[in-house]
Amino acid sequence: IGQIKIEVTERGFIDVPKTTPVIQAFREAGYEIAIDDFGTGYSNLHNLHALNVDILKIDKTFVDTLTTNNTSHLIAEHIIEMARGLRLKTIAEGVETPEQVS
């Protein structure tokens, strides 16, 4: 079970009262929970807290323009800082170049 991660897209935030018990059941069974496509949907810090996730996956749309768009860079940077502060793992989807890594 430790190797299996359950991913919920941000659109899963639409109905937090229904989503929360399902996520909690997976957590109690030992699965890690990841929020996929973070930053593109229904980002809500209250919902992020309520769902008690383990991993934030930064959407590829931010990663694609990290080196050419300062706003994308700042958003990704602050998502990473927030995740560190919350002790969450962070995954940046679609990293393909050394520039995107740095």
As a whole number of angstroms, the distance between CA 8 and CA 26 comes to 12
Question: What's the predicted TM-score (pTM) here?
Answer: 0.82
Instruction: Kindly list the structural domains of the chain, giving each domain's residue range(s) and its CATH number in brackets, ordered by start.
Output: 5-94 (3.20.20.450)
As a whole number of angstroms, the distance between CA 85 and CA 65 comes to 24
**What is the structure's pLDDT at 8?**
84
User: 23-50 pLDDT, tens per residue?
Assistant: 899 999 999 999 888 877 666 677 777 7
Place of tokens 């991913």: 7
**What is the structure's pLDDT at 2?**
64
Handedness of CA 65, 71, 72, 73 (dihedral sign): positive
Q: What are φ and ψ of residue 78, in 5° steps?
A: -75, -30
Ranges in the chain, pLDDT < 50: none
**What is the structure's pLDDT at 3?**
82
**What is the structure's pLDDT at 37?**
84
Neighbours of 62 (CB within 10 A): 23
